[in-house]
């Protein structure tokens, strides 16, 4: 029987860490928020973790941004133009942009930010393959000259998904993209209070008085980012019951991802609202390390795919069909590409999976599963997978850790018995995995790929063809071919869709429908 997350936390002595009490006046000006994970790192380029992306949208600004209709709009850019042949792009920054050290944001900062981001992000890497030259033509103007047209330029520069292009000072942009940079001087509407940061307990942000919002109203990540509170505190409370109680008593104002099994209790509190701010939901998945046995063998990955029962994961993580659905697709279901194409290769048949595992030559190699016990969904997914693989006959070790430690360990490319890993679980918001262009888990370009580091030239060839396609029907055909290949190669196993509600006190206003928790425009009555 799977151990519940709260039982595990109680047995290990993990609990909410106390933070200093605020005066009544200070509390009215501060928004207290429980994030889905601990903020253990502050470099949004170095990791794809959503918690670091969320930090990034507070502390940094972007050249372009996605509005509530998922259209790309100028953000730090005042104006731009593209040549008739599509190979030269010119950009002009807005006047008055400043970093948190009160230095002006210059074109050279934007260029350095693009270069560093382009070394790690999936769309940035694609852009860099066609880049001929980037240069600043004044403090506010820069241009890009390309080897060939790149129609997804604005989608790349303004992406909402993880590893977004945040503008950092030139010195940070020039630092090694493969080494996490710990500087926190940003360009956005909030300043990170580094001296108050206690990983595992508190991350605090204050309104940056020097930030100049755009004139138009805010819309998603775009528009005028007007901050209506003086301070935002991220309270790191690992235990779900303690978090729910803090929300109900008013100790905190907003709980990003309440545990599904506590929603009935929270809903009875008339001072709390539960809302779905991302109706597209998230695709859960098993991610394999393909550098080392046993999952360097695609036949073994296919055996796991064959035995996986998505309903078992949905029952364990959610337990409520209102917030979950089967999704046997490599793309987000409910989107044009999110078809049930994987039904034939995902029969949820344990015996067939066992037989396929034997035929693949599995030799009792250890399987190290990283389980983030401070994240309810991740904990339950990990335990279901551990049980499944053991029933298949695999040698499984479940390593209990927290999410920030998992993010650090999954970057380790050593074999599992030397500090590495075999499997971790995660969820990707639908917008990030709706198609081949932005789909980081579908990249299969070896060492530069996302953690797991798959190599599959055919997947990469089809992705390139998809990006180059000018006819939508042709693009969809290529995307389906890519998905067929992905079910053969198995860069990950899809586990179904979950729709995660958020919960907040009724005196909190301005929370927008978006897959990212934005804090501009949010106020406390």
What is the total residue count of the chain?
A: 525
Helix (H, G, I), strand (E, B) or coil at 91: strand
d(CA 214, CA 218): 8
Q: Is 496 helix (H, G, I), strand (E, B) or coil?
A: strand
Residue 17 confidence (pLDDT): 36
Residue 1 has pLDDT above 60, yes or no: no
d(CA 34, CA 44): 20
Answer yes or no: are the C-beta atoms of 227 and 26 closer than 8 Å: no
What pLDDT was estimated at residue 48? 87
pLDDT of residue 23: 44
Backbone torsion region of residue 433, taken as left when φ is above 0, otherwise alpha when ψ lies between -120 and 50, otherwise beta: alpha
Residue with tokens 């006047």: 95
Q: Are 129 and 81 in contact (CB under 8 A)?
A: no
Q: Is 286:495 a contact under the CB 8 Å cutoff?
A: yes
Report the distance separating Cα 503 and Cα 522, nearest Å.
Answer: 14
In the predicted model, is pLDDT for residue 182 greater than 80? yes
Task: Work out the angle at residue 91's Cα, subtended by the Cα atoms of residues 86 and 94, and round it to the nearest 5 degrees.
Answer: 155
Average pLDDT over residues 145-167: 94
Task: Check residue 28 and give its pLDDT.
Answer: 55
Q: Which two tokens mark 263? A: 């929603």
Look up the pTM and report it: 0.87
What is the per-residue pLDDT for 3?
36
Three-state secondary-structure class, residue 108: helix
Q: Rounded distance, CA 64 to CA 30, Å?
A: 28
Look at residues 271, 284, 523, 237 and name the one whose alpha carbon lies nearest to residue 426: 284
Q: Is the pLDDT of residue 6 over 50?
A: no
Q: For position 308, what pLDDT does the model report?
A: 98
Name the E strands within 100-170: 131-136, 141-146
Which of 252, 202, 211 has the alpha carbon at shortest distance from 59? Answer: 211
Nearest to 205 by CA among 196, 192, 195, 194: 192
Is the CB of residue 382 less than 8 Å from the CB of residue 286?
Answer: no
CB-CB contact of 423 with 369 (8 Å): yes
Condensed to tens digits (0 to 9), the pLDDT of residues 470-522 reads 899 999 999 999 999 999 999 999 999 999 999 999 999 999 999 999 999 99
What percentage of residues in the chain have a pLDDT greater than 90?
88
Neighbours of 324 (CB within 10 A): 23
Q: How far is CA 451 from the centre of its chain?
A: 13
Evaluate if residue 395 carries a pLDDT over 80.
yes
Which stretches of 74-133 are DSSP H helices?
107-118, 122-130
Going by pLDDT thresholds of 50, 70 and 90, the confidence category of residue 29 is confident
| Mean residue pLDDT across the chain | 93
pLDDT value, residue 27: 54
CA dihedral 455, 363, 380, 330 (to 10 degrees): 30
The share of the chain scoring above pLDDT 70, in percent, equals 95
Model pLDDT for residues 34-84, shown as the tens digit of each residue = 999 999 999 999 998 899 999 999 999 999 999 999 899 999 999 999 999
Instruction: Kindly tell me the sign of the dihedral angle through the C-alpha atoms of 42, 46, 48, 49.
Output: negative
What pLDDT is recorded for position 15? 34
How much is the pLDDT for 189? 98
Rounded distance, CA 175 to CA 187, Å? 17
Out of 11-25, 318-332, 367-381, 497-511, pick the least confident.
Answer: 11-25
> What pLDDT shows up at residue 214?
97
Report d(CA 62, CA 52) in Å as an integer: 15
Across the range 305-321, mean pLDDT stands at 97
Report how many helices (DSSP H) and strands (DSSP E) the chain contains, helices first: 16, 21
| DSSP string over 212-236 | ---SSPPBTTBS-----SSEEEEE-
Tens of pLDDT, residue by residue over 416-427, are 999 999 999 999
Instruction: Give the whole-angstrom CA distance, residue 296 versus residue 422.
Output: 10
**What are the structure tokens assigned to 90, written together?**
């010119």
pLDDT at 176 > cutoff 90: yes
- H/E element holding 244? helix 240-249
Render pLDDT for 235-260 as a digit per residue (tens, 0 to 9): 999 999 999 999 999 999 999 999 99
Residue-wise pLDDT for 95-125, tens only, equals: 999 999 999 999 999 999 999 999 999 999 9
- Per-residue model confidence (pLDDT) at position 279: 87
- Positive or negative, the Cα torsion across 251, 255, 261, 266? positive
Element (H, E) at 282: strand 282-288
Q: Which of 11-25, 47-61, 177-191, 401-415 has the lowest mean pLDDT?
A: 11-25
Q: So what's the pLDDT on residue 126?
A: 93
């Amino acid at each position: 029987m799977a151990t519940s997350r709260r039982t595990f936390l109680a047995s290990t002595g993990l609990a909410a860490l106390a933070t200093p009490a605020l005066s009544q006046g200070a509390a009215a000006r501060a928004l207290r928020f429980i994030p889905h994970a601990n903020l253990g790192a502050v470099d949004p380029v170095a990791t794809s973790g959503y918690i670091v992306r969320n930090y990034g949208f507070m502390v940094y600004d972007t050249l372009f941004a996605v509005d509530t209709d998922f259209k790309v709009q100028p953000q730090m850019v005042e104006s731009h133009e593209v040549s008739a042949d599509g190979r030269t792009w010119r950009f002009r920054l807005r006047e008055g942009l400043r970093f948190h050290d009160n230095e002006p944001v210059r074109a050279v900062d934007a260029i350095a930010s693009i270069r560093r981001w382009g070394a790690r992000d999936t769309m940035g890497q694609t852009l860099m393959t066609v880049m001929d030259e980037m240069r600043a033509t004044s403090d506010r103007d820069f241009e890009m000259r390309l080897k060939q047209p790149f129609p997804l330029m604005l989608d790349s520069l303004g992406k909402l998904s993880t590893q977004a292009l945040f503008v950092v000072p030139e010195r940070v942009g020039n630092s090694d993209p493969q080494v996490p940079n710990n500087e926190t001087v940003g360009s956005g509407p909030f300043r990170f209070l580094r001296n108050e940061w206690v990983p595992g307990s508190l991350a605090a942000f204050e309104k940056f008085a020097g930030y100049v919002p755009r004139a138009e109203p805010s819309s998603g990540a775009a528009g005028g980012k007007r901050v209506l509170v003086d301070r935002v505190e991220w309270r790191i409370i690992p235990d779900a019951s303690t978090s729910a109680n803090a929300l109900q008593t008013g100790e905190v104002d907003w709980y990003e991802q309440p545990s599904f099994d506590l929603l009935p209790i929270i809903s009875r509190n008339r001072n709390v609202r539960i809302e779905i701010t991302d109706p597209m939901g998230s695709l859960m998945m098993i991610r394999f390390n393909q550098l080392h046995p046993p999952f360097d063998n695609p036949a073994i990955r296919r055996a796991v795919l064959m035995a996986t029962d998505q309903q078992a994961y949905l029952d364990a993580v959610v337990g409520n069909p209102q917030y979950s659905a089967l999704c046997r697709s490599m793309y987000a279901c409910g989107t044009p590409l999110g078809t049930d194409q994987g039904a034939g290769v995902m029969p949820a048949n344990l015996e067939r999976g066992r037989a396929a595992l034997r035929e693949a030559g599995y030799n009792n190699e250890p399987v190290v599963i990283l389980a983030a016990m401070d994240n309810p969904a991740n904990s339950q997914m990990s335990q279901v997978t551990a049980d499944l693989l053991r029933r298949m006959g695999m040698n499984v070790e479940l390593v209990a850790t927290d999410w920030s430690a998992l993010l650090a360990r999954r970057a380790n490319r050593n074999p599992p018995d030397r500090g590495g890993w075999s499997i971790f679980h995660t969820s990707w918001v639908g917008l990030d995995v709706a198609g081949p262009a932005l789909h980081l888990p579908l990249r299969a370009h070896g060492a530069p790929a996302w953690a797991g580091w798959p190599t599959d030239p055919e997947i990469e060839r089809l992705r390139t063809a998809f990006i180059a396609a000018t006819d939508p029907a042709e693009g969809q055909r290529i995307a389906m071919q890519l998905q067929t290949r992905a079910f053969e190669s198995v860069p990950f196993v899809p586990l179904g869709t979950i729709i995660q509600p958020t919960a907040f006190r009724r005196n909190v206003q301005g929370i927008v429908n978006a897959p990212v928790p934005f804090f501009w425009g949010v106020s406390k009555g």
